[in-house]
Amino acid sequence: MMADRRRVNGPSGGTRPAVFASLAESGTGVSERAQRQRQPSELRKIFLKTGLIPTASGSSYLEFEPSASLAAARINPKSLIPPSSALKLACTVHGPKPLPRSAAFSPNLVLTTHVKYAPFAARKRRGHIRDASERDLGVHLETALRGAIIAERWPKSGLDITITILEAEDDRWWADAPDSHDASWGMMNVLAGCITAASAAIADAHIDCLDLVAGGVAALVSDEEKQSSAAPKLMLDADPAEHRSIVSACVVAYMPARDEITELWLKGDSSKASLENGDKRSVHEALLDGAVDAARGAHTVLAEAVRESLLKTVG
Amino acid sequence: MATPAANAAPSVSPSLSLPPSQFARLQPHAYLLAHLSPPPASNQPSIRANGRAPSQFRVTSANAGSLTHTNGSAVVRIGDTTAVCGVRAEILHTDDIASWSVSSSSTSNSNKRRRLGEKTTDEDEGQDENEEDRAHIEDLNLLVPNLSLSTGCAPGFTPGAPPSALAQSLSHQILSLLHSTRLIRADDLRIWYQPPNLGSEALERHNESQQMEIDAGQGSEESDPQEIKAFWVLYIDVMIISLAGNPFDAAWAAVLAALRDTKLPKAWWDIDNETIICSDDISEASRLSLRGLPVASSFCVFEADAAAGWRAVVIPDVNDQKAQNQRKKGPQQKWILADPDGYEEGLSQERATLVVDKAKNGKNVILKMEKHGGWSVDTEDLRQLVEISGQRWDEMKRILDQC
Amino acid sequence: MVEPTASLSTLNRADGSASYKCPATGYDVLGSVNAPIELPARRDALKPEDATIEVFVKPGNTTAGVGERYVEGILRSVLTEVVLGRERGYPRRGVVITLAIVGGGSVERGDSYLTVLPALLHTSLLALLSASVPLAMTFSSALLGVTKSGDIVRDPSAADAKAASSLHVLAFSSKGHLLLNESEGCFDFDTWELIRERAVSICRGAAVSGTGEDVAMGERSNDARLDGFVRETVEDRLHVDYAWKIESN
């Protein structure tokens, strides 16, 4: 690979991430998997603040509450391997601004979304150039927001939404080997956070919207050793690091005032799974309801943050 | 852009018809000048448009160690400029270094022996050790700082675009300063291996020449030669989350705070797997022992006559200028503004950046002093700036010690 | 001290060009200037009343990297002050300066760019003169190193520069202003004042220097004023270009 001359490059031979002894000799000395301390329908607390970046038209900063295990590890650090991680991201909105000369005429506000992980955001070092998953997140985010913004109020204008993820969510518990159930589950939590944060930043930039759109995640998890023995459980705002395996997960962007979903993303194989006894809903319905409930929870935080931002501008 | 109100009522002072924020946008230079040179009768102190005194820095805060997936991290806010720095350590095996040879690892033996004894201090570090320290860090690219402005930190930086000229230049400045201040000791980054004694099977894997060396080493000295098996490479990534002027001071402070926070795990060469294994035990991890505490302070020069110099071609000779200044105690012509915000940076050409550290006797040691973009700052001003930077050093040390 | 050599208008197609060779540091720089030219792609970024200066630095044996961006920024800020961008024909147009380091050691990743800086500054000045770009003043620049033992050396070689305890590049305008100072290493302000004095005597001769009598004398006896060097280079070129006229007189 040709070295990137626009950046400071590391050794040309490449470097390897550290291998920890506790991981290499698997089975011995491995610390316990983090356990979910919350109720199945209990969400993590969200810290959301707007207007921290004054050079932007609107901005927000979002942080998920660290899980119990991570909080414990922070207070009393023993291992260099963090048990789980908690989402931290910053969102800025620039605009509405005139479109560049080269752009074609647009009767609506042209939305550009951009999601980028910081190189140090995840367990594995990220590259500087956007990869497929980051582009994917950008597209999902754009769909979620486009349904909420009243775009015809700003013809010939553009709106840039940029999200920098400083700390991402884990896709699985760090000591688990990648297996067939493995997917980038953490990305779904990240998307939910992106939607909520972007919505707050758009409100902070005083862009007219139909409603504040909030993101929520629900997942079907199975914590048993053998997957067949028990029905998977529905968990709201599931942290992948806390579960043995995730059967399927769903993220929605939801506007409570209109009871409308602007973005829906369902992942995983839930065709064979069945819910616990007494639940007549199909698995998809249950996931969807769960995700909407999670989004409602995020919406209360969002509304409070926007109210604060409004009081700041008025007062 | 005259407002109707101003036309209708000329008797009213026209400046009242525009709110200050509008005036600041339309006539930025006059706006800042009016703040800095209040009428003598008013007895007001010269103050910047942002309410600071000329040599006053913005409120600074630092917070270290809040990012989970880093070996060290820090968030530094200087006013509205925010920099986040994360340090990630990865391993560079000497097998992966094309230019690495056995001889280069065995030359370190003498140093190693010294290292085993008392921890050497800066004063009694040998010249050759300094040289090797520099060579290892610089030639093997062990420090990889990169700064990103594509975070939506300010309008004008397209997200997703390759690093702008400013971002590239800041990355270079950070790397260059890390090298020239020799902040990081190569010794902290080396991962050693002590081969077992002669006769063990490990020896068979070594080639002939090295075997000879080991033999020689055994004959003359008691201690076994140790060899470097790998290095830690520090990826130092700075994300400027919010840019409101003076990115360098914030970025450098974040790098410094993150490096002070950095812990490297204990690592050893695992002969069976032929790889480096680390311990995740936090009590075995070690912090970097940094050389000194270089603190950066940036300044910009605001000149009164930038607008008046519309067609000025004649630039006075420096001696004439001095004489003129001494003769008439006229209004101040230039202000050196510490820690400029984005608004002030847009109104000035001349910049100065100083990096100072303090010796044990409290004396300022200058590590970097640069000024360009104008001709008004000279010896006397720079002397003053060194003093101000020294005061800033005290302030930053307090902030960094607390975080 | 071996004097640098330079020649003007070495390239045919550029509006102005110069080649500059500094034997002490070994650097050989070729510079070209095109001005005034239209910069159509940058219409939004152009200042309405001033010319836009663009500087490109190309290292000899590799493509430009982050270090070049940094030194380009410094050169741009110095040259913007020197070029009279408000003269007729220049506002809203560009002055494009391209500097190629064709000889001398390459500047490695993260290395100090100070050793090449004076050569780059002198080349760009000569190329600007060759292109007849209106200038407010000329300047001259000196590279000084302080060795571990505290001696001040002029134009240290790459190896000496690495071993030096501090490195300094200063540039003075033809009217005596300090246009640029780039210092790195480890030093105190008193050392810098000595450096400045020495640099003044190198760049501007003994006339301006104050207390450092002996140093100034030394430089004067060598007749090593750098701003004189710029003048001589231009004069030489004029003699060549106007040979037909001079001879006819």
B163 touches chain A (CB under 8 A): yes
Q: Do B311 and C177 touch (CB under 8 A)?
A: no
Q: Per DSSP, what are the bridge partners of residue C140?
A: C172
- Taking only the tens place, the pLDDT of each residue in A36-67 is 889 999 999 999 999 999 999 999 999 999 98
Please state the ipTM of this predicted complex: 0.92
Place of tokens 């009081």: A311
Residues of chain A contacting C44 with CB distance shorter than 8 Å: 101
- CA B8 vs CA A5, B17, B176, B208, B396: distances in Å: 59, 11, 59, 98, 53
Q: Per DSSP, what are the bridge partners of residue B355?
A: B296, B368
Copy the structure tokens of residue B196: 């077992």
Q: What is the per-residue pLDDT for A313?
A: 81
Amino acid present at B2: A
Q: What is the per-residue pLDDT for C206?
A: 54
Amino acid present at C74: I
Residues 267-326 of B with CB under 8 A from C: 310-311, 313, 315-319
Among candidate residues A45, A44, A40, the one with its CA nearest the CA of residue A234: A40
Q: What is the per-residue pLDDT for C178?
A: 93
Amino acid present at A158: G
- Taking only the tens place, the pLDDT of each residue in C142-159 is 999 999 998 999 999 888
Please determine, for residue B314, whether its predicted confidence score (pLDDT) is greater than 70. no
Specify the higher pLDDT residue, B303 or B64. Answer: B64
Q: What is the per-residue pLDDT for B122?
A: 45
Residues of chain C contacting A101 with CB distance shorter than 8 Å: 44
Sheet containing A260-268: which strands, arranged edge to edge? A233-236, A214-222, A245-255, A260-268
Euclidean distance between CA atoms A192 and C7, whole angstroms: 65
Place of tokens 């979620």: A144
Copy the structure tokens of residue A139: 């597209």
pTM above 0.80, yes or no: yes
B146 touches chain A (CB under 8 A): yes
Amino acid present at A226: K
- CA B204 vs CA B201, B209, B210, B229, C63: distances in Å: 6, 12, 11, 17, 44
Q: Do C70 and B143 touch (CB under 8 A)?
A: no
Please determine, for residue C23, whether its predicted confidence score (pLDDT) is greater than 80. yes
Please determine, for residue B203, whether its predicted confidence score (pLDDT) is greater than 70. no
Helix axes B127-139, B165-181, angle to 10 degrees: 160
Q: What is the per-residue pLDDT for B353?
A: 96
Please determine, for residue B200, whether its predicted confidence score (pLDDT) is greater than 70. no
Place of tokens 């207007």: A51
Q: Do A5 and C110 touch (CB under 8 A)?
A: no
Euclidean distance between CA atoms C228 and A117, whole angstroms: 55
Q: What is the per-residue pLDDT for B375?
A: 85
Euclidean distance between CA atoms B152 and B167, whole angstroms: 13
Percent with pLDDT over 90 in chain B: 51
- Taking only the tens place, the pLDDT of each residue in B10-22 is 444 555 577 888 8
Among candidate residues B375, B79, B59, the one with its CA nearest the CA of residue B246: B79
Among candidate residues A306, A111, A61, A204, the one with its CA nearest the CA of residue B241: A61
Q: Do A6 and C65 touch (CB under 8 A)?
A: yes
Specify the higher pLDDT residue, A212 or C226. Answer: A212
Per-residue confidence at B306, pLDDT binned at 50, 70, 90?
Answer: low
Per-residue confidence at C222, pLDDT binned at 50, 70, 90?
Answer: very low
Residues 85-104 of A with CB under 8 A from C: 101
Q: What is the per-residue pLDDT for A44?
A: 94
Specify the higher pLDDT residue, C226 or A213. Answer: A213
What is the phi/psi pair of residue A71, to 5°?
Answer: -60, -40
Q: What is the per-residue pLDDT for C230?
A: 82
Residues 359-388 of B with CB under 8 A from C: 363-379, 382-383, 386
Per-residue confidence at C60, pLDDT binned at 50, 70, 90?
Answer: confident
Give A275's contacts (C-beta < 8 A, 6+ positions apart): A231, A232, A234, A281, A283, A286
Give the length of chain B. 403
Among candidate residues A269, A289, A272, the one with its CA nearest the CA of residue A281: A289
Q: Do B382 and C173 touch (CB under 8 A)?
A: no
- CA B119 vs CA A57, B112, B139: distances in Å: 53, 11, 25
Residues of chain A contacting B140 with CB distance shorter than 8 Å: 11
Please determine, for residue B212, whether its predicted confidence score (pLDDT) is greater than 60. no
- Taking only the tens place, the pLDDT of each residue in B324-367 is 666 555 667 889 999 999 999 999 989 999 999 999 888 999 99
Asked whether the beta carbons of B299 and B353 are under 8 A apart, the reply is yes
Q: What is the per-residue pLDDT for A24?
A: 55
Percent with pLDDT over 90 in chain C: 47
Amino acid present at A140: H
Mutation choice for B interface testing from C183, C187, C193, C195 by most B CBs within 10 A: C183
Q: What is the per-residue pLDDT for B155?
A: 87
Please determine, for residue B170, whether its predicted confidence score (pLDDT) is greater than 50. yes
* Class of residue B298 by CB neighbours under 10 A (exposed 0-12, middle 13-18, buried 19+): buried
- What average pLDDT does range C19-45 have in this prediction? 85
Per-residue confidence at B202, pLDDT binned at 50, 70, 90?
Answer: very low
Sort strands B143-148 and B190-193 into parallel, antiparallel or unpaired. unpaired
Please determine, for residue B9, whether its predicted confidence score (pLDDT) is greater than 60. no
Residues of chain B contacting A11 with CB distance shorter than 8 Å: 92, 96-97, 140-142, 233
- Taking only the tens place, the pLDDT of each residue in B44-92 is 788 999 999 999 999 999 999 999 999 999 999 999 999 999 999 999 9
Q: H-helix or E-strand containing B171?
A: helix B165-181
Nearest to C69 among B169, B175, B379 (CB): B169
- What domains are defined for chain A? 40-314 (3.30.230.70)
Residues 214-253 of A with CB under 8 A from B: none
Residues 17-36 of A with CB under 8 A from B: 17-24
- Chains touching C (at least 3 CB pairs under 8 A) are A, B
Chain A residue whose CA is closest to B237: A119
Cα–chain center distance at A259: 21
Please determine, for residue C19, whether its predicted confidence score (pLDDT) is greater than 80. yes
Please determine, for residue A180, whether its predicted confidence score (pLDDT) is greater than 60. no
What is the phi/psi pair of residue A268, to 5°?
Answer: 105, 165
Residues of chain B contacting C110 with CB distance shorter than 8 Å: 138, 141, 143, 172, 175-176, 178-179
Residues of chain C contacting B310 with CB distance shorter than 8 Å: 49, 86
Nearest to A6 among C44, C66, C110 (CB): C66
Asked whether the beta carbons of C112 and C184 are under 8 A apart, the reply is yes
B259 touches chain A (CB under 8 A): no
**Mean per-residue pLDDT of chain C:** 85
Specify the higher pLDDT residue, C121 or A230. Answer: C121
Q: What is the per-residue pLDDT for A275?
A: 73
Q: Do A55 and B96 touch (CB under 8 A)?
A: no
Euclidean distance between CA atoms A294 and B162, whole angstroms: 37
Euclidean distance between CA atoms B115 and B194, whole angstroms: 14
Nearest to B366 among C66, C178, C188 (CB): C188
Q: What secondary structure letter does DSSP report for A136?
A: H
Q: What is the per-residue pLDDT for B331?
A: 67
Chain A residue whose CA is closest to B147: A7
Percent with pLDDT over 90 in chain A: 60
Q: Do B244 and A92 touch (CB under 8 A)?
A: no
Other C-beta atoms lying within 10 Å of the C-beta of residue A143: 17
Q: What is the per-residue pLDDT for A37?
A: 87
Distance from CA of A166 to the nearest CA of B (A): 8
**Mean per-residue pLDDT of chain B:** 81
Residues of chain C contacting B178 with CB distance shorter than 8 Å: 110
Nearest to B372 among C77, C136, C162 (CB): C77
Q: Per DSSP, what are the bridge partners of residue B332?
A: none
Sheet containing B334-338: which strands, arranged edge to edge? B334-338, B295-303, B350-358, B364-372, C178-187, C166-173, C139-146, C152-154
Per-residue confidence at C225, pLDDT binned at 50, 70, 90?
Answer: confident
Specify the higher pLDDT residue, A14 or A32. Answer: A14
SS3 B246: coil
Copy the structure tokens of residue B6: 């101003």
Please determine, for residue B136, whether its predicted confidence score (pLDDT) is greater than 50. yes
Mutation choice for A interface testing from C44, C57, C66 by most A CBs within 10 A: C66
First-to-last CA distance in chain C?
37
Give A309's contacts (C-beta < 8 A, 6+ positions apart): A50, A51, A200, A203, A204
Q: What is the per-residue pLDDT for A191?
A: 97
**Mean per-residue pLDDT of chain A:** 88
- Taking only the tens place, the pLDDT of each residue in A97-141 is 999 888 899 999 999 999 999 999 999 999 998 999 999 999 999
Per-residue confidence at B161, pLDDT binned at 50, 70, 90?
Answer: confident
Please determine, for residue B207, whether its predicted confidence score (pLDDT) is greater than 70. no
Euclidean distance between CA atoms B296 and C44, whole angstroms: 33
Residues of chain C contacting B316 with CB distance shorter than 8 Å: 175
Percent composition of chain C: helix, strand, coil (DSSP 3-state, to 5) = 35, 30, 35
Give A1's contacts (C-beta < 8 A, 6+ positions apart): none
Mutation choice for C interface testing from A2, A7, A8 by most C CBs within 10 A: A8
Give the length of chain C. 249
Mutation choice for C interface testing from B164, B176, B319 by most C CBs within 10 A: B176
- Taking only the tens place, the pLDDT of each residue in A76-104 is 888 888 888 999 999 999 989 999 888 89
